[in-house]
Structures are given as structure tokens and as C-alpha cells.
Amino acid sequence: MDAASPKKSVPLYYYPALCVLSIVVRLLYLTLRVRVSEKSNGNMRREGASVLIFWHNKISLAPYIKRKFRKRFPIFGLVSQSKDGEILECFFRFFGIDSERGSSSKGGAKAVVSLIRKLKQGKDVCVTPDGPRGPVHEMKPGVMAICKKSTAKILFIRWNMRSAWVLNSWDKFQIPKPFSVVELEADEIENYVALEDMAKHRNVSVESLSASMLGN
């Protein structure tokens, strides 16, 4: 489906506002001074199905990842089955991001199975391990289940927004301010087995290691 023609899963009167918002977001992205190391840039652009992981409060930059680094690759985001999730699903489609609906509280198991299937088909999957309701910066088991059963490579993505609006939400949602500096780092792990070996070597749990690789 074309990115400019989102699936009609929300009332029609939402579409003009979402269309305007998508334009505003694109314009915002054009003003950002994004700094990416050569290694992180290579990790983000490398071919092959990947699990892209970052915290929920950095989701405002998910479309940037798609358009800047993964434009050639189909990508599916895990979105909750709430009304907010329906709106987010529609908004994502303006940027060419498809959605799989589910969360830890509703439809999660089915969504995990579907996302594993997508990865085995060579598609990317994007997840926020502390979404959709927190606790903030806490890894949930569904994300690791996706990594373990898919054998896909894993990208741990860290954003540092030098200047951002911080919303009064459970996760302190961040939106970068126009013309601000945004630093992007991405660590690539070959697969879940490699991540597990790294955790054992450091004598920590896979969840603790994963959380530390995402930063704050």
C-alpha cells in the first residue's frame, strides 16, 4: 500500500489532521542536525531482516529511521490495540510503516507470532520494549521472544536529543525541537544467540544488557 494512502482504520475526520501532522514532521526532520557515526550508519543501512529496538519515548523519530536508513526495506511496527494505537497506525502509514496490533495486555502473543513470521520473510520489525504503558525503560519479555525465535539481527538504537520538548506522559515522551542536534547510535548484534553469549560473558541477564544498550 502506498505511504500516502493509509489504511482506513480511524474515523475519516482524523485524516486531514494526520496528513498535516505528517507534513509538519517531515519539515521538522529537514531542520534536524542528526549526527551518526560511520559505524552506526553502516549498521542502520545493512541489508537483512532486523529487529529495531528503542525506547517508547523516542518513537517520534521512528519515521526518520524508515526514510533515512531503511527506505528500501518493508518495516512493521508493534502498535497497541487501543484507540491511540489506531491513530498511530494510521500516522505511520503516511511514512510507509505498516503495523501489527498487540501489546502485553491485549493481543500480544498473536502479534509476536506474526512479527516473527514477518522477520523470517525478510522484513524489518520495530518495537519499543517498554510500550505502550510502561514501566518506563523496562524490557518486556515479548521483545526478546521475537529476537530469540526469529534469529534475525538486532539493532539497539539510542537517540540523544540535545534540545527537545518533553511531554507530561508516563514515559516523558520527547519531540526534538527544530534545528536542534540529535545524536544517533546503533549497535548491531548478529542474533539472539550472540546477545545471550554477550550477557553470559558480562554475568548479567539478557534483559539488563539490552536495557543498558538502549541508554536513557
**Alpha-helical segments (H) within the chain:** 14-31, 38-45, 62-68, 83-93, 108-120, 141-150, 192-202, 206-214
Q: What is the pTM of this model?
A: 0.90
Three-state SS for 184? strand
User: CB burial class (10 A; 0-12, 13-18, 19+) of residue 15?
Assistant: middle
Query: Mean pLDDT per 10-residue run, the chain (216 residues)?
Result: 49 87 97 98 96 96 96 93 86 94 73 94 95 90 92 96 96 97 98 97 96 93
- Are the beta carbons of 157 and 55 closer than 8 angstroms? no
Q: How far is Cα 90 from Cα 72, in angstroms, rounded to an integer?
A: 20
